[in-house]
């Protein structure tokens, strides 16, 4: 990499880190949008902690997400998720990736709105399907027609995800490019906020 490109990359990271300040950066969106993989890259670039809320829920409950859904149902899982998110967002800065349904829950969405800056990684159906069809770990997709179920989730959830502070299009490009686009959106939002 040329020295000029390194300087541009460092400058992007520095400006994004300054724009974030002590706030948390919270990634929301459907399963397969890239919240965890892109979130890890962003946290690494900004030199702040990364937390995957689903992994944190599994750690505190000592059960997988699928086991929690099976044992207690979605309503109890969402209540636990809201409590974990509230605790995770008490301090910052950090990058937090959320489960696909987290932002849909009113209580959790309020914690996210108070706890930092939310970024919706918005993807179209084909991109999401290509990513989630590879794994059999999604409890909400254990249906007769999982792609149709995913489309139904998109239709129901996208109007709610649109309430996030920022939206970045998640598409079939390298995760590093997606991470840079989130950082650029963060910087732009801070500029607009300072100007108003």
Report the distance separating Cα 192 and Cα 155, nearest Å.
30
Report the distance separating Cα 99 and Cα 44, nearest Å.
20
Would you write out the chain's pLDDT as a tens digit for each of its 196 residues? Answer: 445 544 555 788 999 999 999 999 999 999 889 999 999 999 999 999 999 999 999 999 999 988 998 899 888 999 999 999 999 999 889 999 999 999 999 999 999 999 999 999 999 999 988 888 776 666 566 667 788 888 999 999 999 999 999 999 998 889 999 999 999 999 998 888 777 6
Place of tokens 């994004």: 16
- Can you give the pTM of this predicted structure? 0.90
Q: Indicate which CATH number applies to the domain containing 161.
A: 3.40.50.300
State residue 5's pLDDT score: 47
Whether 194 is in a domain gets the answer no
Domain extent, residue 80, equals: 3-183
- For the chain, the maximum distance between any two Cα atoms, rounded to a whole number of angstroms, is 54
When divided into structural domains, the chain yields a total of: 1
Whether 192 is in a domain gets the answer no
């Amino acid at each position: 990499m040329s020295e000029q490109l390194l300087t541009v990359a460092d400058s992007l990271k520095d400006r994004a880190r300054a724009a974030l300040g002590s706030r948390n950066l919270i990634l929301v969106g459907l399963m397969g949008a890239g919240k965890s993989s892109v979130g890890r890259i962003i946290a690494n670039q900004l030199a702040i902690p990364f937390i995957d809320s689903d992994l944190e829920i599994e750690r505190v409950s000592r059960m997988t997400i699928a086991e929690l859904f099976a044992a207690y149902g979605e309503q109890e899982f969402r209540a636990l998720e809201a409590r974990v998110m509230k605790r995770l967002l008490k301090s910052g800065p950090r990058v937090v990736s959320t489960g696909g349904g987290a932002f849909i829950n009113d209580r959790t969405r309020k914690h996210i709105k108070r706890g930092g800056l939310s970024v919706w990684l918005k993807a179209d159906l084909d991109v999401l399907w290509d990513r989630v069809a590879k794994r059999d770990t999604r409890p909400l997709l254990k249906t007769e027609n999982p792609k149709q179920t995913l489309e139904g989730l998109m239709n129901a959830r996208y109007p709610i995800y649109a309430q996030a502070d920022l939206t970045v299009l998640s598409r079939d490009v390298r995760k590093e490019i997606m991470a840079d686009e989130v950082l650029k959106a963060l910087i732009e939002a801070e500029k607009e906020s300072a100007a108003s």
